[in-house]
Structure 1
Amino acid sequence: MTTPTSTYRLQLRPEFTFDDARDVVGYLTDLGVGAVYVSPVLDATPGSTHGYDVTDPRIARPALGGEEGRLALADALRAAGLGFVVDIVPNHMSIEVPSANPFWWDVLSKGRASQFAHWFDIDWSRDRVLVPVLGSADDLDALTVEGDQLAYYDQRFPITGDASGTPQEVHDRQSYELVDWRRGSTELNYRRFFDITTLAAVRVELQDVFEAVHAEVLRWVADGDVSGLRVDHPDGLADPTGYMQRLRDAAPQAWIVVEKILHPGEQLPISWPVDGTTGYDALGEIFGVLVDPAGEGALTSLAADLGQDTDYAAVEQTARRLVTDDILVAEVHRIAALVKDVDTAAARAAVAETMIAFDVYRSYLPDEAGHWHSSIATARERRPDLSAALDSLDRQVTDDPQGELATRIQQTSGMVVAKGTEDTTFYRYTRFAALNEVGGSPDRFGIGVDELHRLAAAREAGSPGAMTTLTTHDTKRSEDVRARLAVLAEVADEFAVHVRDWSPRAGLGEPSLELLAWQTLVGAAPISDERLVDYLLKAARESKIRTTWTDADEELEQRIRDWPAAVRDAVGDEVDAFVDGITPHGWTNALSQKLLQLTAPGVPDVYQGTELWDFSLVDPDNRRPVDYQQRRRMLARIGDGEVPAVDESGAAKLLLVHRALTRRRDRPELFRGYRALHAEGPAAEHAVAYARGADDGLVVVATRLPVGLGRAGGWRDTTIELGPGEWTDLLTGDVLEGAPARLASLLDRYPVALLVRS
C-alpha cells in the first residue's frame, strides 16, 4: 500500500471531464501534488454536477468520457508518478430518473419478484413501492400511457402486463404507487439518504450486493489504475465495521479514508481497517487554534441583542426534534414498529428522543456501546414520562446489538444529527459562523496551542495516513472565508458596534439570518449580488425559521433579493472600509492555517482552486470552474524565482502550497514524527511551531491572533530555538544559523516560515 504524500481534489462533472482532468496533470505535478482525488466517477443521474447520485456502478460515467476517458486519465497520472484516488458511494443510488437506474427500473417493473428487490431496503409489507412524485393526490389524472411506459409530465415509469384501460387503471396494476410528494416524509417504505426521496439506500451488507456494486471500482484498483478510495457516508451503512473489513479484504493495497465526521474527542472504531477520516477533525483543530476566545462574550451579546437564542444546546435540540417529528417521520415510524411491548405513540417518542440525544452521529454496537448508553441516559433525563418505553428500547438493542432494531436506529441517528445540526442548527445559531462547520461544534470557541500539539501528536501516533482538509465540497464556507472571519473574534467589540449600527439601516428582520448575512458579507468579500443572494436564500431555507424549500415566505425572500442593493445604498462604504481593515489579518490567518495543514501529521488535501485565495461558500458556490491557466502562469513565475508579496493576488499562498507539497513529495522522511516547539518572549502566545523528521530537520512556524500581535507591538524579542546547523526558509530562500531565531526577523516577509536544515 502506498499512502500519498498529498491529494488534490477535482470536482468532475459534464463540464469538467476525464479529459479536462488529464489536461491539468502537468500543472498538478509541478504544484507538488502526490495524488489526484476525484469526485464519484460512476454513471450518475443525467446532468448531475457532483456524481453522488450514482445510477449504475458498473460503468465509468459516459458524461465524463466513459471508460476510454478514465483509462487515459489513469495512464497520464501513472506516467506522472501521481496516485489516483476515487470517491465511492456505497450507501445509496439515485432513482430520480428511474430509467437511468436499471436495477430500480426492474424493481418498479416486477416488485418483490425482481432479482434486485433485495438490493434496496424496502418494506414489502405494503406490497407496492411508494413513489412520492405527484404534485398533489389529484395528479393521477395527469398520467398518460406512452407505449410500455406511464408518463407523468417528463417522468417515465414502467408498465408491466396489460396496458389497457385508463392510465389510472394501468397505474393501479403496477408494483409501485405514485403518490403526492408530501407523503414521502411520513409514509415512504424504502430507506433513503437523509430526507432525499430520490436517493434510495442500498444494502451493501449483503455479499452479492457488495460484489455487484463494487466490482468495477475494485477492478480499477486491482489493475493498478486506482491507488486510493474515499468512502462516502459510512454512518448510513447497516454494518460499517463489516463493510470496512470486506472492502479492505477486496482492496488490500489501496489507501482508504472514510468520510466519518467525528465529534471533538471521538475516535474512529479501532475495528475499521482504514487509514483514517477525510479530515474534518483536523479542520476544526487547525482553525480552532486561530480563534481568539476573548471574543466570545461580545459576539454572544451581539447575537442576543439581535434576538437570537444563544443557548446552543436548546437550539440544537429544537432543530433535531423538527427532523424527527416533521422530516424523518417515516423512518421513526419504521423503527418504532420494531419496539416490543410498548404502545405505538410511546415507542415513536422513545425512538425520536434517543436519536435527538446523541452526542455523536451514531453508535457502533456491539464494539462501542458508550455513546448508546449515554444517549439513552440523556433521553431518560429529558423525558422521564417515557421511562418504560426507553427501558424496553434499550433492552432490545443491547440484547441484540446486531438485530434489525439496533441496526435501523444506528443508521438513522446519523441522519437526525446531520439534518438537525449541520443542516439546520448551523443556519440558526449564527453567533460566530466560522465555527459552524462540518465536524465542528459552534459552542466550542477555539482551542489552545497545547491542545493542537496534543491532537497532532495523537494523529501521528495513531493514524498518520488519515486525510487532513480545510475545504471540501461539503464545507459551509471555504478556508479563506473562515480565516478572515477568525479576525472577527479579535475585533469582536468593533464588529458588534458596526452591526448594531448597520442592522437598523439595512436589516433583514430575522435575527439568525441577519447576523449570518453580515458575517458572510465581510467574510466573502468581494462577492457578487447573485452569489450572495443565492447563499442567503439557501441559508434561510435550511434554517427553516421563516421560510423553507417547500413553503416559501415570499416577503422574506424578496427582502433577501433586495438586500445587497439596500446595503450598498445605506452602509456600503462603511462595510468596505471594515473589510479593508481586516483583510490583511485574514491573509495572515489563511497562510498560517494552510501551512499547518500541509505540514502537520496526516495526508493533506487541497480542494480545487484553493491554492490561491478562494472565498467560496457552501455548494453549489464551491463547485464553480477553476481558472487553471491563471494558476499555471503564476506557478511558472514562482518557478522562475519570484517571491510574491502577500496581497490580493493570492500568489503567496500558491508559493506556500507549492513549496510544502513539493517538499512532502521529494523528502517524505521529513514529515515523520512530531515535536512541539515553544517560542520564548513577550509574544510567544502568538506563535505555533513544531519540528518534524527523525532529527527535527524540518521546522514549521506560524502566526496566530495577528490583531493582538500588532496591538502588543509585534514580535519584539520573541525567539524560537531551531537547533544546531544552518537553516533555509523554503518560502523566502533566506538562510540563518541555528541559534535562537528572532521571530521579528524570521517572519518579516511572511507570517509563516517553513525551515529545513541544510
Structure 2
Amino acid sequence: MSAHTHPAATYRLQLRPGFTFAEAAETADYLSRLGVSAVYTSPLLAAAAGSTHGYDVVDPTRAAPALGGEAGRVAFAHRLREHGLGLVLDIVPNHMSVADPAANPWWWDVLRHGRASRYARCFDIDWSAGPILLPVLDDDGDGGAAALGELTVADGCLTYYDHRFPLAEGTYQAGDNPLEVMERQHYRLVSWRRQDAELTYRRFCDVAALAAVRVEDPAVLEATHAEVLRWAAGGDVQGLRVDHPDGLSDPGEYLRRLRDRCDVWTVVEKVLALGEDLPASWPVDGTTGYDALREVCGVFVDPAGEEPLTAFAAQAGVPVDFARVETESRRQVAATSLASEVRRTAALLRGVDARAAREAVVELLASFDVYRSYLPEGQDAWARAVDRAARRRPDLAGVLRHIDAEARADPRGELARRVQQTGAMVVAKGTEDTALYRCTRFVALNEVGGSPDRFGVSPDEFHAAAEHREAVWPHTMTTLSTHDTKRSEDVRARLAVLSEIPDEFTAAVRDWTARAGLGEPALNLLAWQTLVGAWPLDADRLRGYLLKAAREAKLRTSWTAPDAGFEDEIAAWADRVLTDPGLADRVAAFAARVRGPGWSNSLGQKLVQLTAPGVPDVYQGTELWDLSLVDPDNRRPVDYGVRRRLLERLEGGWRPPVDDTGAAKMHVVRQALRVRRRHDLAGYRPLRAVGPAARHCLAFARGRRGRVVAVATRLPVGLERGGGWRDTVLPLPWSRGGWVDVLTDRAVPAVGGDTAVGLAALLDRYPVALLEQRD
C-alpha cells in the first residue's frame, strides 16, 4: 500500500500563451478560498509553437518557454504552496509533436541520422518499410508531383515553403538538385493525402503531426519523464494525470514502472465501457472521471422521453440504431484514416492473403465492446471481440481465429500489442469523433464515455455505482466537464430538460426546420439542440462548432474531403438563423422555457458530483454557468475578476438567488468544497424519499455515521407538473437533530419525531440542499 495522499478536490487550469505560469499563479488565492486543495493543470512541458493545450510536446526535458520556462514554473509551484494547494500535472507519455521538425530536437536527429540516431528507439517507426514518409506536400490531384518542384536547399536544410528538414552529412553539395538531395535522406516528403494509408510511423490516432513514443522501452520512459520526475521528487508535484494510456504498448507495465519512480496520487484518462472496471493490476487511484460523468448526468434525464425523441429522430431521417452506426463508423475509420496502422498490423500475419488480413483486422478492431482489451488480463473482452467479428464476417473466420491464436500464444507480442493499441484509436475516432455526431436524437447522452443507447440512469443504478466507487476506487477523480467533453455540464443539464418535454421540443424543431433547416438530418437536429443548449451564442461560435461537427460526422463533408458547397451552407445557416428576428425569437423563447429547469439540473449535478465518492474536479470557469461546446470553444479565457467579486460577496454571507449570474452555482461549489474540508466523507449510504414526489429526489449520506447529506431535485418539470413536493419527506440517517442546511444556513425543520425532513420546506429556496449535522 502506497503512502501517498490524495487531494480533496481539484480545479483544472488550461495553460497557454496568454495564460501562463504567471497568470495561473494569480489564481492561487482565489482557488484556495473557493475550497479546492489542488490545481490540476494541462501539460507543462515545452510544446509546439502557439499550442493552446500542451498535448503537442516537442521537448520533454524542459518546462514550456511559452509559459514562462523553468523560472515561471518554480514561481508557480511556490505560489501554490503558499496558499496550501498541491499540483496535479497532466503528462503525455504516448506521443510528441513532429509538426515542425526543427522544434523537436529528438525528431530532428532521427530525420538527420535515421536508424543510427540516438533517438531512433524513442519513436515507433517501421524501419523495414524504408525512409520515413512525411506527409507535408500540397496535392491537387497529382500525388504531390507539382509540389516537389517547390523544394529548395537553404541554410543547410531541405525546405518546402515554411517547412525545414535536416540534411544527412555529406548528402548535399552546392548546385545539387533539391529533389535528388531529398532522395538521399532518411525521409521522403510526400503528399498529405498519403498520411492515412502509407505512413511508416505510428501516430496519435489519425494525427500525422503527433508521432507515437515507445515508453515501453525503460530508457525511453526515463528520458521522456526525467523532468517531471524531478519536479515530483522536489515536492512540486503531488499528483499525475496520465493522458491516453490505451495508446501505450503495455499500459499496465508502464504504470507499474511509473509508480516505482513516482509514488504520488495518479489517475488515468481511461474511458470505461458500461460495466467495465480498471484492470486490478494497475497501480493507480482511478480514472479521470468519465464513468462518473455518465452516471451523474444520466440521473437527471427522464427515461419517458426516449420513445418520442427516438420516433421523431427516425422520422426526420436521423439514425437511431446506435450500435449499428457505431460499428459502421469504426469500420470506416479503421479502413480509411487508420489504414496505415491496419496495414502494419496485418503485415504481421505471415502466410495470410494481404487483403483478407487487412479486412480481418478492420473487422476485429470494429468489434470490441471496450476501448481496449488488456491481454492476458482482458481475455474475456478479447474473446467477445473475436467472436463478434467472426459472426459478422464468417468468410474471415479463419483469419480471425489465426489472429486469436497468435495473440493468445504471445499476449505481449507485436501482433497482440498492435491490435490492442490500434483498437483504442478506432474506438476514439470511430465512436467519439464519428458516431456521436451521427446519432443525434438526444445529444445530452453523446459524451465521451457515454452510452447514447442507454437513455439515462435510474437512481438505483446511480446508487449502486456510487457504492462500488466508494468500495473499490474511493480516490478516483470525478468530473462533469473536461477539455475533451463534447459540451459542458451546463449545456447537458439544459438539454436534459428536453427529455421531460419531448413533444414541445419536437414540435418546435419541425417548425424551425420548415423555416430554416440544414440539408443533412443528423446535423440539423444537432444544430437545434445546440442552439437551445448553449443559447445565447454568436454566429462565429455556432458556425465553428457546426463545421467541426459536420466534418467529424463524415456524412456530407470531412476533414480530408471537404464539400465546399455543404460547408458554405453551414456557414450561411448560422447567420441566417440568428439574423432572422422571427426565428431567433422563437429559439430564444424556447431556451428561456428550459433555462430554469436547466439551472435546477446544473445545481443538482454539481452538488452530487462534489459530494459523491471520489475526488471531484472543477473544470476552469464552471463554478459559474458555463455554456461551452467542444474544444476549442471550451478553452476560451475565464474571467476571474468576475469570479473574485462574487466570491467576496459569498464570503460576506450572501445567499444568492438562482439567476443569470451563476452565483448560486458558485455558492453550491464553495459550500460543498468547504464541507469536504471539514469532514472525512468516507462511506456512502443511499437515502430514499417517501411520498408522492419521491422519484424526484436523489439523496445520499456521507461521512462518519452519515453526518453529511446531499439532496438534489431531479426531473424538475415533472415535479412542477405534479404539484411540487407536497408531503414528500426524506428520512435522515441520524435522528438526534442538529441538522443545518449549509446552503441556506437554516436549521432543518424535522418531521416525524425528528427522523425525517419535509422536502417542500427544505427545498423552498434552492433545488438542492447540503445538510450537515452539528454537535
Instruction: Look up the match of 1:163.
Output: 172
Per-residue deviation, 1:555: 2.0
Amino acid at match of 2:284: V
What is the distance in 2 between the residues matched to 1:310 and 1:739? 47
Secondary structure at the aligned position of 1:302 is classed as: helix
Amino acid at match of 1:198: A
Residue 747 of structure 1 pairs with residue 763 of structure 2? yes
Task: Give a deviation string over 1:636-687, Cα, whole Å, max 9, x none.
Answer: 001111100001110000000011112212x241x11000001000000000
How many residues align? The count is 755
RMSD across aligned positions (CA): 0.9
Please say which of residues 232-241 and 729-738 is displaced more in the overlay: 729-738
Equivalent residue for 1:656, pick from 638, 653, 668? 668
Alignment of 1:405-554 (within 5 A): 405-554=415-564
What is the distance in 2 between the residues matched to 1:188 and 1:101? 19
Residue 97 of structure 1 pairs with residue 97 of structure 2? no
Secondary structure at the aligned position of 1:551 is classed as: coil
Please say which of residues 241-250 and 318-327 is displaced more in the overlay: 318-327
Equivalent residue for 2:187, pick from 147, 169, 176? 176
Equivalent residue for 1:618, pick from 630, 651, 658? 630
What is the distance in 2 between the residues matched to 1:355 and 1:176? 30
What is the distance in 2 between the residues matched to 1:183 and 1:152? 17
Contact 2:267/2:285 (<8 A) preserved: yes
**Any unmatched runs of 5+ in structure 2?**
none
Secondary structure at the aligned position of 1:327 is classed as: coil
Alignment of 1:22-421 (within 5 A): 22-136=25-139, 137-138=144-145, 139-160=147-168, 161-164=170-173, 165-252=176-263, 254-421=264-431
What is the distance in 2 between the residues matched to 1:39 and 1:405? 33
Contact 2:171/2:185 (<8 A) preserved: no
Residue 681 of structure 1 pairs with residue 683 of structure 2? no
What is the distance in 2 between the residues matched to 1:448 and 1:575? 30
What is the distance in 2 between the residues matched to 1:310 and 1:695? 46
Contact 1:342/1:392 (<8 A) preserved: no
Alignment of 1:577-592 (within 5 A): 577-592=589-604
Amino acid at match of 1:118: R
Aligned structure 1 segments of 4 or more residues deviating by more than 2 angstroms: 564-568, 736-739
Secondary structure at the aligned position of 1:387 is classed as: helix
What is the distance in 2 between the residues matched to 1:350 and 1:548? 26
Amino acid at match of 1:80: H
Amino acid at match of 2:275: G
Instruction: Look up the match of 1:757.
Output: 773
Amino acid at match of 2:387: A
Instruction: Look up the match of 1:697.
Output: 707
Secondary structure at the aligned position of 1:142 is classed as: coil
Equivalent residue for 1:572, pick from 572, 575, 584? 584
Secondary structure at the aligned position of 1:364 is classed as: coil
What is the distance in 2 between the residues matched to 1:447 and 1:634? 34
Task: Give a deviation string over 1:152-211, Cα, whole Å, max 9, x none.
Answer: 000100012232211111111111111011111111000010000010000000010000
Contact 2:216/2:250 (<8 A) preserved: yes
What is the distance in 2 between the residues matched to 1:9 and 1:151? 40
Please say which of residues 430-439 and 156-165 is displaced more in the overlay: 156-165
Per-residue deviation, 1:566: 2.4
Per-residue deviation, 1:501: 1.5
Per-residue deviation, 1:299: 0.7
Secondary structure at the aligned position of 1:641 is classed as: coil
Instruction: Look up the match of 2:648.
Output: 636
What is the distance in 2 between the residues matched to 1:566 and 1:258? 43
Please say which of residues 674-683 and 556-565 is displaced more in the overlay: 556-565
What is the distance in 2 between the residues matched to 1:440 and 1:151? 45
Contact 1:376/1:394 (<8 A) preserved: yes
Per-residue deviation, 1:618: 0.1
Task: Give a deviation string over 1:373-399, Cα, whole Å, max 9, x none.
Answer: 000000011001111111111111111
Contact 1:129/1:189 (<8 A) preserved: yes
What is the distance in 2 between the residues matched to 1:190 and 1:554? 31
Per-residue deviation, 1:565: 3.3
Task: Give a deviation string over 1:681-735, Cα, whole Å, max 9, x none.
Answer: 0000000000011211101100000000000000000001223221111111011
What is the distance in 1 between the residues matched to 2:746 and 2:636? 37
Per-residue deviation, 1:454: 0.5
Amino acid at match of 2:349: V
**Any unmatched runs of 5+ in structure 1?**
none
Secondary structure at the aligned position of 1:230 is classed as: strand
What is the distance in 2 between the residues matched to 1:219 and 1:144? 42
Instruction: Look up the match of 2:612.
Output: 600
Secondary structure at the aligned position of 1:58 is classed as: strand
Contact 2:346/2:358 (<8 A) preserved: yes
Contact 1:595/1:752 (<8 A) preserved: yes
What is the distance in 1 between the residues matched to 2:378 and 2:632? 36
Contact 1:296/1:489 (<8 A) preserved: yes
What is the distance in 2 between the residues matched to 1:483 and 1:296? 16
Per-residue deviation, 1:340: 2.8
What is the distance in 2 between the residues matched to 1:603 and 1:162? 56
Give the structure-2-normalised TM-score.
0.97
Amino acid at match of 1:316: E
Residue 730 of structure 1 pairs with residue 742 of structure 2? yes
Secondary structure at the aligned position of 2:492 is classed as: helix
What is the distance in 1 between the residues matched to 2:571 and 2:378? 48
Contact 2:309/2:441 (<8 A) preserved: yes
What is the distance in 1 between the residues matched to 2:468 and 2:55? 32
What is the distance in 2 between the residues matched to 1:587 and 1:126? 57
Contact 1:341/1:392 (<8 A) preserved: no
What is the distance in 2 between the residues matched to 1:360 and 1:2? 30
What is the distance in 1 between the residues matched to 2:548 and 2:354? 36
What is the distance in 1 between the residues matched to 2:331 and 2:365? 9
What is the distance in 2 between the residues matched to 1:167 and 1:213? 34
